[in-house]
């Protein structure tokens, strides 16, 4: 059911979002009462959405009948904060007008915990989104489930009128449409944004900008309800609001659905799974809510009591949350006690499905309008029944048997938090997609770009494209105190050589002549759009350090009346955020123009390598790959030279000079003191020496076919490459293909130190540290020479990635690992990785420096690089996939006026041997109000920062401490928000900022990652591997890595992807087929009862049991479905820097265990908390901080 | 009785021995008074076409400390089948195989004409000859090409079953694996790291099989295979190696402006020595080093790679300004000793315009009996033909080279091989094997009666100095005969081991009563050469002027005038390398050649008669003569002024001046004859009056007319020499004065 729900929800959301948001707002604006009333169903959903700012976590809600009570309160409070009039809640935002907006925000809160939040989204969505957890309350209230339901209602009650209206509406919707709607509401947030457009919100929701706040507000509602799906903005512009409102009011429940239907269509994609839901989505949400609401909502008024009474027990189910509950108890202490006892029964919930149902409903209800929600919670018992059905409808196929669950749900009246009631990543993603339909223009300072999951076009108008630079906060606190208070990390993820889509221009090349790029005299910042020309253009003032510098005569240009240079738009460095300078000889090592780089291939030819087929594969592939060495001009041959080395215990260099008839092998057995035996003839131009090289590559596999040497060396191998580059006086890249732990006598010899007993102890960190210091020193030398190392590992056992990876990581290289490599199954992945790695755009011998305006300073750097001082990031190699996360700290005050500027300059040698400087400029706003900070954050980037920070932390701290630190910081961030930005509300409510409402779910994923919380089957190597992998990922990569993309692929349309579902087993339908992408893996999950036709289309076999789960590629079948799916798979692979091998997972099959590992919202086998549990935990933490 | 002259000649022809005194003084005191010590020049492998080797083994004296070989001088009791050793007087029974012996049926070794006899030892499996090429690749393209061709050519000259190995070096040292098919494989060592022998063998995987051998027999073939990678029979790898040499490229490391190429000669040799040491110790092997410049890298480096610092000169050495000299010398001596210990000889072929560090490296050849060849370029006939001549064959179609020789000298009591009072050049290896000193020696290395001759040829001649140990009051009885036996064991180039035994005897003479005899038994030529050798030896280890003074004190003879001016003693105008080179050859050539070296031969060609030897004097340089000078190292044809003008005018082309043409041709023919046989091939100079190359001649002749004694200027005869050196006349006058004054 959940699944279904989710899916539908999501889909609806996606589409509705815009609409929703707006509509919601509109309603809010218009007349909450009215709209709400009708909306209820939707409204409820909206409400959550509306409150975008504050999400309420349903879980608690469940419990928190009391909370429900609070919700109402909170709602108002929030409103208060945000907007004056509580009534407006949703509308509030839309009303943007002012008062309303706030109300809107508040409303959400008031409405219910999480659900409201959604609404909030809508209205004030962006920044303010807050999820109010009624959790605490809920849980507490858990005691009386039914009451809870009531309780939920009560929340609505909080806004009596509205709630009522909601209820009415919702109820119908519930019955009809599943909660999805609720989720949908969340999406609405965007609309909210528009609604929010009110000054506050505006920021966040891009759409708002375009649309006039007021209009938006109105429009939103409508659009949300339906239009949103199609095109949110239009709605906005139009006057959707009214419409929507009407719609809502009119047939809130059923009508809503009716109206929804249109929406459904959009959702239709999902429909497959949840056919009915489709239409319902919005309605559904509302519907779900409604049901509960209806049943209980009204009761809601009484809700509070209900919560206490009924809800509590079920909430207890939340057991995990139970803890939290305690806090909640406050309100319903009494109940809790009892409730808690009940918990055990609640445990029954565990089948979250059931619980979900119950909860979901409730939560959903909650969402709809926390208002309703609460009722739901409270109602669960009562409502459940109705809700359940609705859900069932939604997920007929859903694994969880709908009815059964329903019943149980009801019975349980569990307090389980409805997963649908808590912030859904899918919803957020879809919302963002929906609201992004214009190019992102970078000219405006402090503007947050669309999410990484959204595809958009960028227009560079003075700031670097988000493809190059993404910040955690686009509105930095002015003072260190504020920053410290909020605990929000200030960081930027910079991907200096990022590949741009074909329709965007790569950075322009600027040549300032012999004098080199024009720079500030003092801080040496490069000429950029922020420089102020003064004195008629004769001098310019550096905006970083305020120093005034003379303009060289050849660069002089007059200023126009605005003080801008006349040639401003003719010069990229004066008008764009990203561009490149041609560096002069002063910027080169030894004051000598660099030589073209060289690639050296070092191939392990020990027994294992030969036997696994690696050697012959590499050799064979290289023959064709060498034609594709990186070059800048496709018309010209690459100037990159190549060299070859094979090794086991000794090294074999090859002389492949063009003049030779046969290659010559030079054996260096003195590995203790490595050197390169030859120069001329070792590094050669491919075209000149093609014959010899091919002959060599043909012969290598033969030569070593009978080898019996099993020992290998590693340190000397890298030394050899390094020495070769040194001798040739050029930078370059080493491709090392290695199989085993280097145990042969040589520098850098390693021992097998894998000791599972250390895991979880304080000594665990030592396992992540390099075993010997040798490689650190080697790395240093490599960096000095510009020698980047890419390591391809083919281990059959422990190889100590933590140590072997030191050099690649320090030199800006990559590590690839193919455990138990088998030619047949892994060849494709390896070859694709190799091809890509070889061909990708790469710079060498790079130095990156981040300059900032006075007041902040780049203090910490994360990524694959080496630093010999505190400011210069040295990268022996820098490719287009490598990102560097830079953390900033205050060292003074910033001013709101000037904002904060940063300039990232990367000096590198291009693959053609040209020395260049790539400049990325970024300006962000500064704020003196915390609220502004929270409104302009980017959770994905924060997670990127957190993960890198944490993964580095395991080197020096026990993993447990690292996890605690993360949780703690996250709690502080949220608590600070709650304390300073959210409207006063019950402590039982979990209120999350709109921009960070996904922080808990994502953070949980980080905490559960193999690095921080390894399962029994995760090897030390795997962890080390992941650790280094993450360290250089950009935001998009970390996002999908931590929260994999799970697409239902039962129905595919060309041109668009199905809307993803959340990563939870509950969302999987037995009759469905799902494609999961993690950035490293690609799974195709096939449900046990998939229709024959689908199987035929997909695998060409009619029976589930005949599916060969060992296949690595889908059979090529001539039907649209198969074609489309393969197309999708290909497109996924194309998006990632590493090739993802497809694994077909049959339900109930052994491999499903692996697959489940990536269902990150569920409990993990290694003990990681489920999303819901974690949210509860987080809530508890926050409450502790607050109290 | 024949004259001493004939006796000497006969002895030399038969036994390859020439003594300074053919009667020996009977006591130490008398011997000392003779000034010239009792000494001999001995050519162990003197070619004896009429001496067929015998196919059995020698009969040895059974006394453990003697082990002398049965020889014609022994007393034999045919009836008792007993022979008495003439060195220790031990009575030994004949072995069973001599049962049939009788006065009429004597084995060869008892016949007087077989005072020198050669035995072929059948014991043990024949071990193949080993040739290891160590090739410098830091050469000019042209040079390298020439060298490659020479090397390829040499492959065809090697016996088919000989093992060959190849090491090339530049900045790095490459040991080529010859057995590999397909890709040419080589092991590389860095040129600046001194590796111990054990380490090298480990790196080459040579020690592993040995370890495995302990486990069982199967390892044996592997062991063979292991070194076979590097040393392969010529017939098997002929093609491979030819290709390999053909593809040999110049050292692939770029040489920056103002630098010398990095040449790791030291490590290359070290690797070669280590490889042979690990695989074929005590087997005949010839390690041939081809260098085109001085070692500039790693151990054994002679000069840095900065061109602005020139290679050391005598001046630097005298000023103790040669940074690398001692270290390098020590390094190479270490190598030489190791190599000698293993019985491997090292040749050096150095071709470069500048010095190549022969001074430091000379010990490699000196101690191991290898050749040194010095030339200007590998692309000259001097090198090409000399190198070819290394592989020349004798009348039996055997190579004129022998390996792993051990020379033992057995003497009767009163005589003992001379022990030099000074420090010996290398320590006796008696520590290792009490029986022999493992050093190649020409002279001056004493304290033993056994020497190792790792490489020797038919002309290799040793100088041996004996000391009479009898006290004056217990002289050897009158009329007694002293005997010396030389036992040379060596590996013949046909891989069999042979033993050549030479036993000679001389009479003891009482100085008081037989002074006349002693005087007449003096062999002036031999003594001159022997004393010169002694002088050269001292020159190598002592200050030049001291040696000259010592020589002056020791001897007053005509040739000494030239010896004093020769490059063997004079370093002026010679680089240290050249001095080393000249000295190296001087101490190993036979008497005739040595004499040529001391006093070059000058022939004069004219219309006045047949070619005649003329005085090595500036007065011999006449306008209408063609002179042919042979200094052993150089062969100079000098056309007098008039002749040169005629030649320039082209008279030789005209039929009516056929005689002129013949005159021009005559010295050329004679020179050609010398060139054919001389090893190493001399530098051939064809010059004329006033030509720049005429200096070769002018520097040798006695400067009887110089710019100082102007009175002779414009005189009809001779040409003035621009030098401050004293002329023979002045020298003689001075000597006479000295002789008189000092004797009083």
Lowest average pLDDT, out of A294-303, A475-484, B510-519, goes to A294-303
Average pLDDT over residues B566-582: 84
Task: For residue A461, give Cα distances in angstroms to A441, A452, A505, A848, A922.
Answer: 6, 20, 12, 23, 11
- Per-residue pLDDT of A974-1032, as tens digits, reads 999 988 888 777 777 788 888 888 999 999 999 988 888 888 888 889 999 999 999 98
Residue B381: is its pLDDT beyond 90?
no
CB contact at 8 A, A459 and A866: no
Q: Which of B145, B183, B208, B248 has the highest number of chain A CBs within 10 A, making it the mutation to test binding with A?
A: B183
Collapsing DSSP to helix, strand or coil, A445 comes out as: coil
In chain B the first and final C-alpha atoms are separated, in Å, by 39
Least confident span in A335-349, A825-839, B604-618, B625-639:
A335-349
Average pLDDT, chain A: 71
Residue A765 has pLDDT above 90, yes or no: no
CA B201 vs CA A27, A456, A614: distances in Å: 90, 65, 31
Q: What is the pLDDT of residue A365?
A: 34
Which residues of chain A have a CB within 8 Å of the CB of B168?
A: none
- CA–CA dist A149, A140 (Å, integer): 13
Element (H, E) at A1084: strand A1081-1086
Distances (CA, A) of B78 to A257, A368, B60, B93, B483: 140, 136, 17, 10, 22
With bands split at pLDDT 50, 70 and 90, how would you rate the model's confidence at A121? very low
B66: which 2 tokens?
């003697």
Q: Residue A563's pLDDT is what?
A: 85
Nearest Cβ partner of B247 from A661, A678, A702?
A661
Residue from the list A664, A670, A673 with its beta carbon closest to the beta carbon of B186 = A664
Q: How many helices (H) and strands (E) does chain B have?
A: 22, 26
How many Cβ atoms from other residues are within 10 Å of residue A988's Cβ?
A: 41
| pLDDT tens by residue, A692-751 | 999 999 999 998 998 888 999 999 999 999 999 998 889 999 999 999 999 988 999 999
Q: What is the DSSP letter of B60?
A: B
**pLDDT attached to residue B623:** 86
Tokens of residue A341, six digits: 């006892």
Percent above pLDDT 70 for chain A: 65
DSSP codes of every residue in A503-562: TSPPPEEE---TT-S-B-TTT-PBP-TTPEEEGGGTEEE-TTT--EEEPPGGG---B-TT
In a mutagenesis test of the A interface, which of B141, B166, B178, B182 is the best target, namely the one with the most A β-carbons within 10 Å? Answer: B182
The rounded distance, in Å, linking the Cα atoms of B112 and B106 is 11
State the pLDDT at residue B717: 53
For A546-563, how does the pLDDT look when each residue is reduced to its tens digit (9 = 90+)? Answer: 999 999 999 999 998 888
> In sequence order, what are the beta bridge partners of A817?
A793
Contact of B184 with chain A, judged by CB distance below 8 Å, is answered with yes
| A679 vs B190, B243, B254: nearest CB | B254
> Strand A475-477 and strand A491-494: pairing?
unpaired
pLDDT of residue B710: 52
Listed by number, the residues of chain A in 539-558 with a beta carbon closer than 8 Å to a beta carbon of chain B are none
Tokens of B486: 């030389």
How is residue A36 written in tokens?
């709400």
**β-sheet bridge partners, residue A152:** A374
| Alpha carbon distance A542, A527 (integer Å) | 9
Is A837:A865 a contact under the CB 8 Å cutoff? no
- Is B254 in contact with A659 (Cβ distance < 8 A)? no
Most confident option among A223-227, A806-810, B247-251, B691-695: A806-810
Mean pLDDT of B406-413: 76
Average pLDDT over residues B255-275: 91
**Cα distance between residue A578 and residue A575, in whole Å:** 9
CB A62 within 8 A of CB A79: no
pLDDT at B403: 84
Place of tokens 């790395």: A779
Interface check A696 vs B, CB under 8 A: yes
Q: CA-CA-CA-CA torsion for A645, A648, A650, A654, nearest 10 degrees?
A: -20
Inter-chain CB proximity B180 and A659 less than 8 Å: no
Spatial CB neighbours of A292, under 8 Å, sequence gap ≥ 6: A149, A152, A153, A170, A171, A174, A361, A362, A364, A365, A372, A373, A375, A376, A377, A379, A380, A382, A383, A384, A386, A387
Tokens of B724: 């401050």
Other Cβ atoms within 10 Å of B327 Cβ, number: 15
Question: With 70 as the cut, is the pLDDT of residue B30 above it?
Answer: yes
Q: Is residue B557 over pLDDT 70?
A: no
Identify the CA nearest to A442 among candidates A469, A428, A417, A460.
A460
pLDDT at A145 over 50: no
**A1045: Cβ contacts below 8 Å, ≥ 6 apart:** A1060, A1076, A1077, A1078, A1132
| ipTM score of complex | 0.81
Q: For chain B, give the percent of residues with pLDDT over 90.
A: 11
Check residues B37 and B504 and name the one with the higher pLDDT.
Answer: B504
Other CB atoms within 10 A of residue A543 CB = 22
Query: What pLDDT score does A850 carry?
Result: 94
Compare all CA atoms of chain A with the CA of B188 and give the residue at the minimum distance: A668
Which two three-digit tokens encode residue B76?
A: 């034999």
* A119 pLDDT more than 70: no
Enumerate the residues of chain B whose CB falls inside 8 A of the CB of residue A670. 189-190, 193, 195, 199, 203
Confidence category of residue B168, pLDDT binned at 50, 70, 90: very high
Token look-up 């005299």 returns: A521
Which of A597, A287, A224 is closest to A434 using CA atoms?
A: A224
Asked if A677's CB is within 8 angstroms of B184's CB, the reply is no
Cα distance between residue A450 and residue A457, in whole Å: 10
DSSP assignment of B315-345, as one string?
Answer: HHHHTT--TTHHHHHHHHHHHHHHHHHHTEE
List, as one string, the DSSP characters of B62-110: S-TTT-PBP-TTSEEETTTTEEE-TTT--EEEPPGGGTT--SSS--GGG
Q: With 70 as the cut, is the pLDDT of residue A68 above it?
A: no
* Structure tokens, A571: 């010069």
Predicted pLDDT at A674: 87
The pLDDT value given to residue B328 = 92
Minimum mean pLDDT range among A926-930, B418-422, B468-472: B418-422
| Residue environment code for B448-485, b if the CB has 16+ CB neighbours within 10 A, otherwise e | bbbbbbbbbbbbbbbbbbbbbebeeeebbeeeeebbbb
Structure tokens at B497: 């081991």
Residue pairs between chains A and B whose CB atoms are closer than 8 Å: 80
List CB contacts (< 8 A) between B180 and chain A: 665
Q: How far apart are CA B741 and CA B129, in angstroms?
A: 59
- Per-residue model confidence (pLDDT) at position A907: 94
Task: For A183-217, write each residue's pLDDT tens digit.
Answer: 333 333 333 333 333 333 333 333 333 333 333 33
> Which of A657, A663, A681 lies at the smallest CB-CB distance from B183?
A663
Looking at the predicted structure, is the pLDDT value of residue A19 above 50?
no
Residue B522: DSSP 8-state = B
d(CA A801, CA A419): 38
Cβ neighbours of B190 in A, within 8 Å = 670, 673, 675, 677
Distance from CA of A695 to the nearest CA of B (A): 9
Q: Note whether A679 contacts B: Cβ–Cβ < 8 A.
A: yes
Tell me, what's the pLDDT at B268? Answer: 93
Token digits of residue A246: 């009407």
State pLDDT tens for residues A258-316: 333 333 333 333 333 333 333 333 333 333 333 333 343 333 333 333 333 333 333 33
Tell me the C-alpha distance between A791 and A776, whole Å. 16
Nearest CA in chain A to B199: A670
- Mean pLDDT, range B509-513, rounded to an integer: 73
**Can you give the pLDDT at residue A214?**
38
Q: Give A1076-1112 pLDDT, tens digit per residue.
A: 999 889 999 999 888 888 888 888 888 888 888 888 8
Length of chain A: 1187
d(C-alpha A24, C-alpha A7), whole Å: 21
B198 touches chain A (CB under 8 A): no
Hey, what are A814's tokens? 């990559």
Which tens digit of pLDDT belongs to each residue from B293-325? 999 988 999 998 898 988 998 888 888 888 889
The model's confidence at residue A1150, banded by pLDDT at 50, 70 and 90, is confident
Range of lowest pLDDT (A397-406, B166-175, B206-215, B712-721): A397-406
């Amino acid at each position: 059911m959940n699944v279904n729900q989710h899916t539908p929800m999501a889909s609806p959301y996606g589409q509705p979002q815009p609409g929703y948001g707006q509509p919601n707002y509109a309603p809010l604006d218009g007349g909450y009462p009215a709209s709400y009333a009708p909306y209820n169903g939707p409204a409820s959903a909206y409400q959550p959405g509306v409150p975008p700012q504050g999400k309420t976590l349903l879980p608690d809600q469940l419990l928190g009948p009391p909370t429900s009570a609070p919700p109402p309160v909170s709602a108002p409070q929030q409103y208060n904060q945000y907007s004056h009039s509580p009534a407006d809640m949703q509308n509030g935002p839309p009303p943007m007008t002012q008062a309303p907006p706030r109300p809107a925000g508040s409303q959400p809160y008031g409405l219910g915990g999480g659900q409201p939040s959604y609404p909030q989204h809508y209205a004030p969505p962006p920044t303010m989104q807050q999820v109010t957890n009624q959790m605490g309350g809920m849980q507490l209230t858990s005691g009386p489930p039914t009451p809870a339901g009531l309780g939920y209602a009560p929340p609505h009650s909080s806004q009596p009128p509205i709630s009522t209206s909601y209820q009415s509406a919702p109820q119908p919707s519930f019955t009809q449409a599943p909660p999805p709607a609720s989720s949908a509401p969340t999406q609405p947030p965007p609309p909210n944004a528009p609604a929010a457009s009110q000054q506050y919100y505006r920021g966040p929701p891009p759409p708002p900008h375009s649309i006039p706040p007021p209009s938006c507000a109105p429009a939103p509602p409508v659009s949300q309800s339906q239009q949103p799906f199609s095109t949110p903005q239009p709605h906005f512009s139009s006057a959707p609001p009214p419409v929507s409102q009407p719609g809502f009011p009119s047939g809130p429940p059923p009508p809503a659905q009716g109206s929804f239907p249109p929406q459904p269509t959009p959702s239709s994609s999902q429909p497959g799974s949840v056919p009915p839901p489709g239409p319902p989505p919005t309605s559904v949400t509302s519907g779900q809510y409604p049901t509960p609401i209806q049943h209980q909502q009204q009761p809601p008024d009484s809700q509070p009591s209900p919560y206490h009474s009924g809800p509590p027990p079920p909430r207890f189910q939340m057991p995990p949350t139970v803890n939290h509950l305690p806090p909640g108890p406050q309100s319903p202490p009494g109940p809790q006690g009892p409730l808690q006892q009940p918990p055990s029964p609640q445990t029954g919930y565990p089948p979250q499905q059931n619980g979900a149902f119950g909860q979901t409903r409730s939560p959903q209800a909650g969402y709809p309008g926390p208002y309703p929600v609460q009722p739901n919670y409270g109602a669960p018992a009562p409502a459940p029944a109705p809700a359940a059905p609705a859900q069932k409808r939604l997920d007929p196929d859903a694994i969880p048997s709908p009815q059964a669950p329903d019943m149980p749900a009801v019975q349980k009246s569990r307090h389980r938090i409805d997963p649908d009631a808590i912030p859904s990543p899918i919803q957020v993603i879809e919302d963002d997609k929906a609201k992004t339909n214009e190019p992102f223009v970078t000219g405006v300072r402090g503007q947050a770009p669309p999410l990484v999951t959204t595809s958009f076009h960028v227009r560079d108008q003075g700031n670097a494209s988000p493809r190059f630079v993404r910040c955690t906060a686009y509105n930095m606190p002015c003072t260190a105190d504020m920053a410290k208070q909020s605990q929000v990390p200030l960081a930027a993820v910079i991907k200096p050589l990022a590949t741009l889509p074909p329709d965007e221009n790569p950075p322009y090349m600027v040549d300032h002549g012999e004098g080199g790029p024009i720079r500030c005299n003092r801080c040496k910042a490069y000429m950029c759009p922020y420089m102020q020309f003064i004195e008629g253009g004769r001098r310019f003032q550096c905006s970083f350090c305020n120093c005034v510098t003379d303009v060289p005569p050849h660069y002089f240009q007059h200023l126009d009346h605005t003080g801008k240079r006349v040639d401003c738009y003719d010069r990229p460095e004066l008008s764009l955020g990203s561009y490149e300078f041609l560096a002069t000889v002063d910027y080169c090592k030894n004051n000598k123009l660099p030589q073209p780089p060289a690639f050296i291939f070092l191939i392990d030819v020990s027994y294992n390598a030969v036997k696994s087929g690696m050697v012959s594969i590499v050799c064979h592939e290289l023959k064709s790959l060498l034609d594709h060495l990186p070059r800048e001009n496709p018309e010209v041959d690459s100037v990159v030279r190549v060299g070859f080395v094979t090794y086991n215990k000794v090294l074999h260099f090859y002389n492949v000079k063009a003049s030779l008839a046969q290659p010559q092998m030079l054996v260096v057995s003195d590995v203790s003191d490595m050197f390169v035996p030859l120069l001329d003839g070792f590094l050669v131009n491919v075209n000149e020496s093609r014959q010899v090289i091919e002959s060599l590559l043909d012969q290598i596999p033969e030569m070593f076919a009978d080898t019996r040497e099993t020992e290998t060396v590693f340190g000397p191998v890298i030394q050899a490459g390094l020495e070769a580059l040194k001798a040739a006086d050029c930078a370059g890249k080493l491709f090392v293909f290695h199989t085993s732990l280097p145990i042969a006598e040589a520098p850098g010899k390693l021992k097998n130190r894998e000791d599972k007993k250390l895991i979880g102890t304080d000594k665990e960190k030592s396992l992540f540290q390099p075993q010997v210091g040798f490689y650190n020193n080697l790395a240093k030398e490599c960096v000095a020479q510009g020698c980047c190392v890419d390591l391809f590992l083919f281990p059959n056992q422990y190889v100590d990635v933590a140590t072997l990876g030191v050099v690649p990581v320090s030199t800006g290289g990559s590590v690839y690992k193919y455990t138990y490599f088998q030619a047949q199954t892994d060849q494709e992945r390896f070859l694709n990785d190799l091809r890509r790695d070889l061909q990708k755009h790469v710079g060498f011998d790079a130095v990156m420096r981040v300059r900032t305006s006075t007041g902040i300073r780049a203090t910490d750097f994360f990524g694959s690089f080496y630093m010999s001082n505190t400011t210069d990031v040295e990268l022996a190699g820098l490719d287009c996939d490598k990102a560097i996360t830079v953390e900033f700290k205050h060292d003074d005050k910033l001013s709101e006026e000037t904002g904060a500027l940063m300039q990232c300059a990367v000096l590198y040698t291009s693959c053609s041997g040209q020395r260049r400087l790539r400049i990325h400029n970024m300006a962000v706003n500064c704020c003196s109000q915390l609220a502004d900070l929270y409104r302009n954050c980017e959770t994905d980037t924060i997670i990127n920062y957190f993960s890198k920070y944490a993964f580095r932390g395991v080197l020096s701290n026990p993993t447990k401490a690292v996890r605690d630190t993360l949780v703690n910081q996250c709690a502080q961030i949220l608590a600070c928000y709650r304390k300073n930005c959210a409207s006063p509300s019950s402590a039982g409510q979990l209120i999350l900022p709109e921009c960070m409402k996904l922080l808990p779910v994502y953070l949980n994923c980080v905490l559960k990652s193999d690095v921080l919380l390894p399962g029994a089957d995760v090897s030390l190597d795997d962890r080390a591997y992941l650790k280094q992998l993450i360290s250089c990922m950009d935001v998009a990569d970390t996002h999908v890595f931590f929260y994999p993309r799970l697409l239902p692929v039962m129905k595919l349309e060309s041109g668009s992807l199905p809307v993803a579902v959340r990563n939870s087993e509950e969302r999987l339908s037995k009759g469905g087929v799902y494609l999961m992408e993690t950035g490293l893996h690609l799974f195709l999950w096939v449900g046990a009862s998939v229709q024959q036709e689908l199987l035929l289309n997909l695998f060409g076999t009619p029976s589930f049991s005949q599916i060969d789960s060992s296949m690595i590629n889908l059979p090529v079948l001539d039907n649209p479905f198969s074609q489309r799916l393969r197309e999708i798979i290909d497109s996924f692979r194309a998006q990632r820097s590493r090739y993802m091998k497809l694994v077909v997972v049959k339900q109930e099959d052994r491999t499903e265990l692996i697959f489940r590992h990536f269902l990150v919202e569920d409990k993990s086998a290694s003990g990681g908390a489920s999303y819901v549990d974690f949210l509860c935990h987080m809530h508890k933490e926050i409450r502790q901080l607050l109290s | 009785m024949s004259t001493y002259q004939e006796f000497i000649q006969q002895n030399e022809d038969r036994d390859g021995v020439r003594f300074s005194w053919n009667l020996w003084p009977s006591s130490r005191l008398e011997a000392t008074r003779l000034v010239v010590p009792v000494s001999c020049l001995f050519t162990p492998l003197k070619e004896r076409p009429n001496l067929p080797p015998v196919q059995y083994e020698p009969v040895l004296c059974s006394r453990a400390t003697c082990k002398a070989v049965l020889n014609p001088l022994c007393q034999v009791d045919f009836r008792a089948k007993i022979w008495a050793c003439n060195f220790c007087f031990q009575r030994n029974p004949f072995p069973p195989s001599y049962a049939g012996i009788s006065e009429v049926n004597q084995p060869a070794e008892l016949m007087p004409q077989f005072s020198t006899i050669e035995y072929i030892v059948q014991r043990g499996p024949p071990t193949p000859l080993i040739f290891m090429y160590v090739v410098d690749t830091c050469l000019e393209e042209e040079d390298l090409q020439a060298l490659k061709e020479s090397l390829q050519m040499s492959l065809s000259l090697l016996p088919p079953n000989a093992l060959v190995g190849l090491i090339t070096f530049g900045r790095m040292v490459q040991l080529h694996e010859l057995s590999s098919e397909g890709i040419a494989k080589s092991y590389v060592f860095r040129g600046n790291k001194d590796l111990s022998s054990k380490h090298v063998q480990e790196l080459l995987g040579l020690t592993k099989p040995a370890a495995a051998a302990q486990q069982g027999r199967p390892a044996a073939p592997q062991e063979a295979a292991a070194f076979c990678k590097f040393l392969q029979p010529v017939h098997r790898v002929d093609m491979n190696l030819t290709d390999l040499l053909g593809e040999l490229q110049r050292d692939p490391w770029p040489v920056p402006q103002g630098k010398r190429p990095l040449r790791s000669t030291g490590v290359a040799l070290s690797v070669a020595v280590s490889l042979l040491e690990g695989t074929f110790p005590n087997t005949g092997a010839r390690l041939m080093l081809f260098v085109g410049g001085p070692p500039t890298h790693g151990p054994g480096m002679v000069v840095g790679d900065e061109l602005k610092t020139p290679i050391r000169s005598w001046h630097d050495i005298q000023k103790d300004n040669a940074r690398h000299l001692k270290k390098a010398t020590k390094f190479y001596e270490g190598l030489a000793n190791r190599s000698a210990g293993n019985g491997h000889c090292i040749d050096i072929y150095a071709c470069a315009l500048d010095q190549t560090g022969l001074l430091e490296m000379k010990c490699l050849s000196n101690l191991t009996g290898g050749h040194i060849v010095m030339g200007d370029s590998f692309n000259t006939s001097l090198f090409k033909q000399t190198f070819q001549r290394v592989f020349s064959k004798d009348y039996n179609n055997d190579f004129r080279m022998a390996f792993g020789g051990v020379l033992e000298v057995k003497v009767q009591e009163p005589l003992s091989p001379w022990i030099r009072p000074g420090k010996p050049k290398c320590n006796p290896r008696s520590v290792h094997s009490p029986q022999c000193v493992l050093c190649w020696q020409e002279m001056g290395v004493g304290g033993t009666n056994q020497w190792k001759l790792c490489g020797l040829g038919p002309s290799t001649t040793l100088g041996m100095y004996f000391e009479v140990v009898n006290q004056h009051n217990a002289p050897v009885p009158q009329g007694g005969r002293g005997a010396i036996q030389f036992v040379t064991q060596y590996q013949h180039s046909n891989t069999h081991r042979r033993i050549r035994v030479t036993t000679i005897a001389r009479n003891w003479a009482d100085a008081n009563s037989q002074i006349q005899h002693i005087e007449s038994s003096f062999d002036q030529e031999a003594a001159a050469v022997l004393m010169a050798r002694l002088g050269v030896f001292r020159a190598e280890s002592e200050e030049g002027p001291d040696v000259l003074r010592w020589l002056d004190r020791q001897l007053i003879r005509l040739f000494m005038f030239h010896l004093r001016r020769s490059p063997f003693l004079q370093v002026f105008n010679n680089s240290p390398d050249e001095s080393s080179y000249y000295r190296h050859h001087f101490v190993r050539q036979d008497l005739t050649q040595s004499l040529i070296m001391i006093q070059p031969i000058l022939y004069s060609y004219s219309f006045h008669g047949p070619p005649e030897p003329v005085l090595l004097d500036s007065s011999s340089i006449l306008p209408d003569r063609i002179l042919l000078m042979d200094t052993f190292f150089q062969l100079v044809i000098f056309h007098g002024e008039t002749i040169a003008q005629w030649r320039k005018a082209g008279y030789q082309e005209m039929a009516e001046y056929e005689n002129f043409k013949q005159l021009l041709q005559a010295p050329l023919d004679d020179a050609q004859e010398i060139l054919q046989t001389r090893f190493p091939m001399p530098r051939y100079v064809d010059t004329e009056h006033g030509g720049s190359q005429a200096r070769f001649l002018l520097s040798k002749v006695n400067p009887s007319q110089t710019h100082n004694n102007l009175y002779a200027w414009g005189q009809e005869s001779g040409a003035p020499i621009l030098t401050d050196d004293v002329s023979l006349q002045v020298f003689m006058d001075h000597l006479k004065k000295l002789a008189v004054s000092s004797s009083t």
